[in-house]
Amino acid sequence: MKPCIGIGVIGFGTVGSEVVRLLLEGIERPDFGLELKKVADLDIVTPRGVEVPKELTTTDAEEVIESEEVGIVVELIGGIEPARTYILEAIARGKDVVTANKALLAQCGDEIFHAAVEAGVDVGFEASVGGSMPVIRALREGLAGERIERLYGILNGTTNYILTRMEEEGLPFSEALREAQEAGYAEADPSLDISGRDALQKLVVLLRVAFGISASPGEVFCEGIEGITPQDIEYAREFGYKVKLLATAKRVGEGIEARVHPTLVPQKSMLANVREEFNALELVGEGVGHQLFYGKGAGGRPTARAVASDLVSLASRRLSGATPRVGELLDSSGLKLMPVEEAVMPYYFRFLALDRPGVLAQIARVLASEGISIASVIQKGRAEEAVPIVMMTHEAREDAVRRAVARIDELEVVRGRTQVIRVEEL
Amino acid sequence: MKPCIGIGVIGFGTVGSEVVRLLLEGIERPDFGLELKKVADLDIVTPRGVEVPKELTTTDAEEVIESEEVGIVVELIGGIEPARTYILEAIARGKDVVTANKALLAQCGDEIFHAAVEAGVDVGFEASVGGSMPVIRALREGLAGERIERLYGILNGTTNYILTRMEEEGLPFSEALREAQEAGYAEADPSLDISGRDALQKLVVLLRVAFGISASPGEVFCEGIEGITPQDIEYAREFGYKVKLLATAKRVGEGIEARVHPTLVPQKSMLANVREEFNALELVGEGVGHQLFYGKGAGGRPTARAVASDLVSLASRRLSGATPRVGELLDSSGLKLMPVEEAVMPYYFRFLALDRPGVLAQIARVLASEGISIASVIQKGRAEEAVPIVMMTHEAREDAVRRAVARIDELEVVRGRTQVIRVEEL
């Protein structure tokens, strides 16, 4: 009889119930099987569309962690605590761990991976980034040894759905958000998504896997999509771009530039065509060139599939007695995060200025004095009151842009705050 | 000291020299190393940009296969013979094999995988489809157990480059082909690419991995891009589509529909935006929904990276003593290939007809009599001579379309052969 690895699941929600379903349907390999031994949730009575034998259920997560029968613990409750404690306890007991918890890995990744190295166990986290897209596996296996130069991700489905609605229906942000909530793509409290923080947590996980650096979310520049207007999207289109919430990381010298913000990307690029709630990650490797992964970044079934793929890998490694590769996830590259102020890229500006002769000259003078060079300008209509002046620049430094915009916003002829959107040519 | 698996490489061309470079630079894992033991090529003297110690080189492939030090043989010479013999010999000697040889796997896959099962060895072939895109790994590992419903691939970079040039520059096929040859994307004899046969071989490999069926290339409908004109591409654009050489496979009842041909795909789809020499594969799984992989489908460095990822997987399995999973590649699903005549899809027609009253009625009558329903029509300009009538249909059956077109081409008012391009809504 072939060996069987016991699985314990903590968290019986959308993803947990699909993981349990896959396990009960049977995940088999020629060499081994996986068997569900325990499922814990505070609410274990609400029907989840999957029949679990009553003796496998518990409301006490400790029962999962302490069970002698469980070799791999799957943590699917999310958030920092008590997930962190459960995972560290499971590791201390010599169990492998699979988690979809990007918030925890972003904030406490070092602690968890260090603990795993000490205990000689492994941690799978494919489900923490990009749902079923196998991006962690691709980076750690297929591209192991490849020097990743840059990565660009659309890592949050809610904001991509909102931006798609704004673009395709001309909706203002607030209406597109309401539509996303009605369609079930946005939470009642959508702030984690629209602020960019969800994408930021995923970027921090990717920074570790792709570049070997351990960053904390607070160190990475992050801006949400609340300030984007349908007008910006329309002007971007006229310049040949679309607006996406992009997570970007690049090697620059001995450092890594990393940031999350609304970004103009060229219309012809693959990322510009990622619509609705889909996610995508584009990697640029020294040898392999551009690679892109695209798929559903969330949802019970896609995420459960990612968890299952980790379970198979970890069980296979466990049975073979091979050394876990979790040590390579500890900060080792010596690379440093660069301050965002040093980042260099093109910019989109939308100024609101009085429609008078010489206004453009005043703005252009400030930009020139900060070394910012204008690539193209759109100025439409004439009005009694203020009119938008929209501009694309050549490459400029973030700190120079901030100084220039602050000075422009104080010009007497300028009304309201200038809209700044960063640009990536990809 | 950690164990080391010896690697022998047969074929020291574009891909072989990059594989050798990666091995000499060092491919390491915590548990093992990979060491180049032998490189064979008939021409081993031409400089390949990588310095190989002379004692490792040979002009005799048998030396690689017979070497006691070689645990994994990498076959990179392509074509059926002598690659087939080398691989079977290596397998018989208990060596694992890594190959990028799609032609061989498409034609002799059963023989090779059977031999591997009998000898208890493994075969890696990530590099045979899609260059560095990890599609074989994704299907066999991340998506193992997932029911794949459909797949769509742009699997040939040369034809995609040609179609992109035709679309973006309005070039006729012959000029775009010449440009592709000058840019190094097309061979002096480009027939394998433009006939669709290269994509067909890759589709046959994917049919085995995604659906568990063993097909031979001759059983799958295949049409090349030679007959596509810039006018077709322009009409397609007016209807909201782009023209791609698409490899398609779908579950239909208990069968699999598989075909390779120029295809109209919706402009907004991800596949429509795969430009230049890039490849992409879109999978639709029951649980995970749409997934897409995009990257360079050819070239020394991307392909070598795929070979290296196979080497690491096979070495790891070899050292752990786990059973090779090659048995699951033998035809086991009981699924049958459906005759293309039974395929159902929308169609694009371009008729060349005399510009007289009643001509469209005559054509429409034939279509109606075969149960083919028209979705939209473009008829432009007036002329003394024949004019194009361009049409999109609703879903129709291939055999009905063939009968209808044969009858229409015999109408007295119709000049020349009707252009037929199949359509996928994706």
What is the distance between the terminal CA atoms of chain A, rounded to a whole angstrom? Answer: 52
- Chain A residue with CA closest to B288: the answer is A302
Nearest by CB to residue A296, choosing from B126, B288, B309, is: B288
Contact A268 B270 (CB under 8 A): no
Name every chain B residue with its beta carbon within 8 A of the beta carbon of A272: 273
Q: What is the dihedral of CA A126, A163, B243, B250, to 10 degrees?
A: 40
Q: How far apart are CA B8 and CA B72, in angstroms?
A: 6
DSSP letters, A320-385, are HTPPPSGGGGSS-S--EEPPGGG-EE-EEEEEEEES-TTHHHHHHHHHHHTT--EEEEEE----SS
pLDDT confidence of residue B188: 81
Would an 8 Å CB–CB cutoff place A356 in contact with chain B?
A: no
pLDDT confidence of residue A187: 81
Contact B291 A22 (CB under 8 A): no
Judge whether B309 and B29 are in contact, CB under 8 Å.
no
Contact A292 B288 (CB under 8 A): no
Judge whether A145 and B308 are in contact, CB under 8 Å.
yes
- Chain A residue with CA closest to B268: the answer is A273
- Chain B residue with CA closest to A325: the answer is B30
Which of A225-239, A341-355, A374-388, B259-273 bottoms out in mean pLDDT, i.e. has the lowest?
A: A374-388
Nearest by CB to residue A309, choosing from B133, B141, B291, is: B141
Residue A152 CA to its chain's centroid (Å): 10
Classify residue A2 by burial, with Cβ atoms within 10 Å: 0-12, 13-18, 19+: exposed
* d(CA A71, nearest CA chain B) in Å: 19
Q: How far apart are CA A301 and CA A163, in angstroms?
A: 24
Name every chain A residue with its beta carbon within 8 A of the beta carbon of B327: 30
* d(CA B23, nearest CA chain A) in Å: 11
Would an 8 Å CB–CB cutoff place A16 in contact with chain B?
A: no
Nearest by CB to residue A316, choosing from B137, B301, B322, is: B322
DSSP letters, A254-300, are TEEEEEEEEEEEETTSTGGG--TTEEEEEEEETTTEEEEEEEE--SH
Among A292, A307, A318, A328, which would you mutate to test the B interface (most chain B Cβ atoms within 10 Å of its Cβ)? A292
The 3-state secondary structure of A113-181 reads HHHHHHHCCCEECHHHCCCCCCHHHHHHHHCCCCCEEEEEEECCHHHHHHHHHHHHHCCCHHHHHHHHH
Contact A143 B320 (CB under 8 A): no
Fold category of A341-423 in CATH:
Alpha-Beta Plaits (3.30.70)
Residues 47-106 of B with CB under 8 A from A: none
Q: Is B102 a catalytic residue?
A: no
Would you say residue A14 has pLDDT above 90? Answer: yes
Amino acid at residue number B66? E
Judge whether B333 and B213 are in contact, CB under 8 Å.
yes
Judge whether B211 and B283 are in contact, CB under 8 Å.
no
- pLDDT tier for residue A77 given thresholds of 50, 70 and 90: very high
- Identify any residues that bridge with A197 across adjacent strands, giving them in sequence order: none
Name every chain B residue with its beta carbon within 8 A of the beta carbon of A132: 142-143, 285, 287-289, 291
pLDDT confidence of residue B331: 75
Would an 8 Å CB–CB cutoff place B379 in contact with chain A?
A: no
Judge whether B21 and B335 are in contact, CB under 8 Å.
no
Q: How far apart are CA B217 and CA A143, in angstroms?
A: 31
- Counting every residue written for chain A, the total comes to 426
Is CATH 3.30.200.20 correct for B141-296? no
Name every chain A residue with its beta carbon within 8 A of the beta carbon of B325: 29-30
Among residues of chain A, what percentage have pLDDT more than 70? 100
Q: A336-345: string of b/e by CB count within 10 Å (b at 16+)?
A: ebbebeebeb
Contact B274 A270 (CB under 8 A): yes
Q: How far apart are CA A135 and CA A206, in angstroms?
A: 9
Name every chain A residue with its beta carbon within 8 A of the beta carbon of B244: none
- Chain A residue with CA closest to B138: the answer is A134
Would you say residue A5 has pLDDT above 80? Answer: yes
Average pLDDT over residues A72-91: 97
Nearest by CB to residue B312, choosing from A144, A270, A321, is: A144
| Residues ≥6 apart with Cβ < 8 Å to A360 | A353, A377, A379, A389
Residues 247-286 of A with CB under 8 A from B: 268-270, 272-275, 278, 285
| Residues ≥6 apart with Cβ < 8 Å to A320 | B316, B319, B320, B321, B322
Name every chain A residue with its beta carbon within 8 A of the beta carbon of B126: 142
pLDDT confidence of residue A271: 98
Q: How far apart are CA A290 and CA B407, in angstroms?
A: 47
Amino acid at residue number B164? T
Residues 283-312 of A with CB under 8 A from B: 285, 287-296, 299, 301-302, 304-306, 308-309, 312
* d(CA B100, nearest CA chain A) in Å: 15
Angle separating helix axes A230-239 and A157-169, nearest 10 degrees = 80
Closest alpha carbon to B40 in B6, B71, B65, B14: B65
Would an 8 Å CB–CB cutoff place B14 in contact with chain A?
A: no
The per-residue pLDDT for range A18-46, each reduced to its tens digit, is: 999 999 999 878 788 999 999 999 998 88
The conformation of residue A406, written as its DSSP 8-state character, comes to H
pLDDT confidence of residue B19: 97
CA angle B303, B309, A323 (to 5 degrees): 165
ipTM value = 0.93
Q: What tokens appear for A16 in the block?
A: 């947990």
Nearest by CB to residue A291, choosing from B142, B294, B309, is: B294
Average pLDDT along chain A: 94
B4-132+300-329: CATH class: alpha beta
Would an 8 Å CB–CB cutoff place B33 in contact with chain A?
A: no
CA A360 to each of CA A352, A365, A388, A407, B78: distance values in angstroms, whole numbers, following the listed order: 11, 8, 11, 14, 63
The conformation of residue B70, written as its DSSP 8-state character, comes to -
**Average pLDDT along chain B, 426 residues, taken 10 residues at a time:** 93 96 89 94 90 95 97 96 98 98 97 97 96 92 90 97 97 96 88 97 97 95 98 97 98 95 97 97 95 94 94 90 87 88 97 92 97 93 82 98 98 94 97
Name every chain A residue with its beta carbon within 8 A of the beta carbon of B266: none
Sign of CA dihedral B354, B355, B361, B364: positive
pLDDT confidence of residue B313: 92
CA angle A285, A286, A287 (to 5 degrees): 95
Percent of residues in chain A assigned helix, strand, coil, to nearest 5: 40, 25, 35
* Phi (first) and psi of residue A265, to 5 degrees: -120, 145
Q: How far apart are CA A222 and CA A260, in angstroms?
A: 5
Domain boundaries, chain B: 4-132+300-329, 141-296, 341-423
Among A25, A293, A311, A313, which would you mutate to test the B interface (most chain B Cβ atoms within 10 Å of its Cβ)? A293
Average pLDDT over residues A255-277: 97
Name every chain B residue with its beta carbon within 8 A of the beta carbon of A294: 270, 290-294
Nearest by CB to residue B287, choosing from A272, A294, A301, is: A301
CA B76 to each of CA B27, B123, B137, B298: distance values in angstroms, whole numbers, following the listed order: 19, 13, 19, 13
Name every chain B residue with its beta carbon within 8 A of the beta carbon of A138: 134
Chain A with chain B: Cβ pairs closer than 8 A: 164
Average pLDDT over residues A212-225: 96
Sign of CA dihedral B213, B216, B221, B223: positive
Would an 8 Å CB–CB cutoff place B377 in contact with chain A?
A: no
User: Which of 1.10.1760.20, 3.30.1360.170, 3.30.360.10, 3.40.50.2020 would CATH assign to domain A136-296?
Assistant: 3.30.360.10
- pLDDT tier for residue A186 given thresholds of 50, 70 and 90: confident
The conformation of residue B214, written as its DSSP 8-state character, comes to -
Is CATH 3.40.50.720 correct for A4-131+300-328? yes
Which residue reads 């070092």 in tokens? Answer: A110
Which residues of A are catalytic, by number? 202
DSSP letters, B264-293, are EEETTSTGGG--TTEEEEEEEETTTEEEEE
Q: How many CB atoms lie within 10 A of CB A109?
A: 24
The per-residue pLDDT for range A193-211, each reduced to its tens digit, is: 999 999 999 999 999 999 9
Q: B108-117: string of b/e by CB count within 10 Å (b at 16+)?
A: bbeebbbbbb
Q: How far apart are CA A21 and CA B94, in angstroms?
A: 39
Name every chain B residue with its beta carbon within 8 A of the beta carbon of A137: 134, 137, 141-142
The per-residue pLDDT for range A114-169, each reduced to its tens digit, is: 999 999 999 999 999 998 899 999 999 888 888 999 999 999 999 999 999 999 99
Q: How many CB atoms lie within 10 A of CB B84?
A: 18
Would you say residue A2 has pLDDT above 90? Answer: no
Q: How far apart are CA B284 and CA B116, in angstroms?
A: 30
* Strands (E) located in B267-418: 278-285, 289-296, 336-337, 344-345, 347-354, 374-379, 386-393, 396-397
pLDDT confidence of residue A321: 82
